[in-house]
Structure 1
Amino acid sequence: MRVTTSLRAVLVAVLSAVLFVGLAGTASAAPPAQAQAASDCAGRGVPLSKISVQLYTFAGVIGGGAGEQERHEEVLRSLAEMGYRNVEPYTLSGWTAEEYAALLDEYGLKASARHVDVGSQFTPADIEQILEDNRTLGIKYFGSGSTAGAPWIGQLRTEADWVAYAQYLDAVGEQARKAGQTLMVHNHDFEFTTVFGDRTAFDILMQHTQAKNVVSQLDLYWVSYAGLDPVDVIEEYGNRIQLLHVKDLNPDLNRRIEIVGLGNIDFPSIFAAAGGSTRYFVVEHDPRFTDLEFDPYEAAEVGLEYLTCTTY
């Protein structure tokens, strides 16, 4: 069982150490073990420059319609106050790319990546427009889940469909690379549970795209939900996995998504396996739209505290 250390506990420990030294009357007095642990933790945690948060966590707050932009801006303001330096948008809420870039700048935030529908061989997207918006937003990484392969979409039914989809993504990725950007593919569980012979759909996506054109944003919850160990996936595909969606799993509540650090996913082992290839560790918690007690701000804050105190 892991012990999750909160930022508040770290601060209390540090203050306790200062008080201890003062009362002891000598700087050579040994600090309490808790303070020493806090000091060690602070030195090994994920740096803020590598931590981001997927704004879909706040989809239930941002919503749509009247007031959406005001609610979206309040989310950005709150995240900046928590200490986040990066965010990962899933919508611009009606703002132009220029307006959204100015809003991020106002709150001292950067967009580490962007989730946007890049289409499929059946429904191609306007990639030039996406790339232009990304340049304005200062975004390098962009992409989405394998939406076309989702069971509720049903565009990809055969192995040949998945191969053609991978080839489409590779072409988009080449276009992005030439524009100085990087296409990423974000997984759910179905990329690992859709199997053709000895290959999963995820294998097909990796094998039929070039590493220079397409990278993976590995969602650790969905890999675990599909019954795989994320460490095995990382060890197989190495530095093609450049971003991690850090989401936890609660085995006691129907394997639901859990606040980071409160489930059973072994993040330290995963981070160690990923090594230095991880560009961003992205906190995420899919919204519980019908759960009025769920607080996405708490999920974001606890996730930030957990990562800043977790080795990688």
Structure 2
Amino acid sequence: MKVPIGLRAVLVAVLSTLLFVGLAGSASAAPPTKAPAAAECADRGVPLSKISIQLYTFADYIGDDAGSQARHEEVLRRLAEMGYRNVEPYTLSGWTAEEYAALLDEYGLKASARHVDVGSPANPTDIEQIIADNRVLGIKYFGSGSTAGAPWIGELETEADWIAYAEYLDAVGEQARQAGQTLFIHNHDFEFSTVFGDRTAFDILMQHTQKKNVVSQLDLYWVAFAGLDPVDVIEEYGKRIKLLHVKDLNPALDNRIEIVGRGSLDFPAIFAAAQHVRYYVVEHDPRFGDPTFDPFEAAQAGLDYLTSVTY
């Protein structure tokens, strides 16, 4: 077993030559020069068929009140107009799976994956219903937005707790595999900063699940925030990493999440190491209550970057 990578700062080159386009009609001011459009980058970048966006980017905008469905639909419409072909839902906003599938179809979108609570040993959930809904939605990949080891959940404290959780996920993953679907683990920083001997919690999750049952949706920002180089993690776990959450890190602003391409992560190096990945998923966690953050700008800039980046 390879000793887990020690904490260290991520020192990468700022991609200063790229310019980004502001979304027309956005509350944010548009940059003076327009970035290359996807059509102008047809011979470069990530194919549109492999680009998606995690809709949690719009969580503050969508909300969960009586108007959430209308705003959710507006998000889908505007993403389709930008050129997105895939989305990754984190909520169905009260629609049934059938209703949501019809809505995606109306806007020419597909659900590349889904964040949905898959439970834990202490709090199991109805996996059969999730699998049934996924089948209606056309979703192959799914998993919780966070592991049960999150500090705000507090279920996993010991190494034995993490092992038991991994074994639970492996059983869920086997159930999913038998239904033609794939369970993934989505990380934050604590899976890498929680260490037992020479193993991180992420190591434990990978070692105590079978690759045929459980894969990784690697969140690049949180890997870097924990002090690791995403390239090292990708090289260690290889084809078990099937999806990437592509979001950037700004070291000049207390390592906050940044719009893709405007921070310090070396995406060309990361993508070169991860060419086996199925989906590159743009994400920017909401800055709840911050009127200066425009999730539509983040979505447009992320798409422009991914369709033009060379690696």
**TM-score normalised to the size of structure 1?**
0.89
Whole-Å Cα distance in 2 between the matches of residues 144 and 5 of structure 1? 34
Whole-Å Cα distance in 1 between the matches of residues 248 and 137 of structure 2? 29
Mapped contact 1:55–1:90 kept (Cα < 8 A): yes
Ranked by relative contact order (alpha carbons within 8 Å, sequence separation 6 or more), the top structure is 2
1:6 deviation in Å?
4.0
Whole-Å Cα distance in 1 between the matches of residues 97 and 53 of structure 2? 19
Aligned residue pairs, count: 284
Question: Larger Rg: 1 or 2?
Answer: 1
Q: Secondary structure of the residue that 1:65 maps to in structure 2?
A: coil
1:10 deviation in Å?
2.7
Q: Secondary structure of the residue that 2:252 maps to in structure 1?
A: coil
1:5 deviation in Å?
4.2
Mapped contact 1:172–1:183 kept (Cα < 8 A): yes
Whole-Å Cα distance in 1 between the matches of residues 264 and 62 of structure 2? 29
1:240 deviation in Å?
0.2
Mapped contact 1:288–1:294 kept (Cα < 8 A): yes
Flag the structure with higher helix content. Answer: 1
Instruction: Trace 1:1-312 onto structure 2 (pairs within 5 A).
Output: 1-2=14-15, 3-6=17-20, 8-10=34-36, 41-275=41-275, 277-312=276-311
Mapped contact 2:147–2:187 kept (Cα < 8 A): no
Whole-Å Cα distance in 2 between the matches of residues 163 and 256 of structure 1? 31
Q: Secondary structure of the residue that 1:43 maps to in structure 2?
A: coil
Q: Alpha-carbon deviations, 1:271-291, whole Å to 9, x = none?
A: 00112x110000000000121
RMSD of the TM alignment (CA)?
1.3
Whole-Å Cα distance in 2 between the matches of residues 5 and 242 of structure 1? 29
Mapped contact 1:145–1:188 kept (Cα < 8 A): no
Mapped contact 1:5–1:305 kept (Cα < 8 A): no
Structure 2 residue identity aligned to 1:201: A
Identity percentage over the alignment?
A: 79
Q: Alpha-carbon deviations, 1:209-268, whole Å to 9, x = none?
A: 000000000000000000000000000000000000000000000100000000000000
Mapped contact 2:36–2:304 kept (Cα < 8 A): no
Whole-Å Cα distance in 2 between the matches of residues 10 and 111 of structure 1? 26
Whole-Å Cα distance in 2 between the matches of residues 288 and 6 of structure 1? 20
Whole-Å Cα distance in 1 between the matches of residues 185 and 49 of structure 2? 22
Q: Alpha-carbon deviations, 1:15-66, whole Å to 9, x = none?
A: xxxxxxxxxxxxxxxxxxxxxxx6xx53121010000000000001100111
Q: Secondary structure of the residue that 1:206 maps to in structure 2?
A: helix
Mapped contact 1:98–1:137 kept (Cα < 8 A): yes
> Which aligned segments of 4 or more residues in structure 1 are displaced greater than 2 angstroms?
5-11
**TM-score normalised to the size of structure 2?**
0.89
Unaligned runs of 5+ in 2: 1-13, 22-33
Unaligned runs of 5+ in 1: 15-37
Q: Alpha-carbon deviations, 1:61-82, whole Å to 9, x = none?
A: 1001111100100000000000
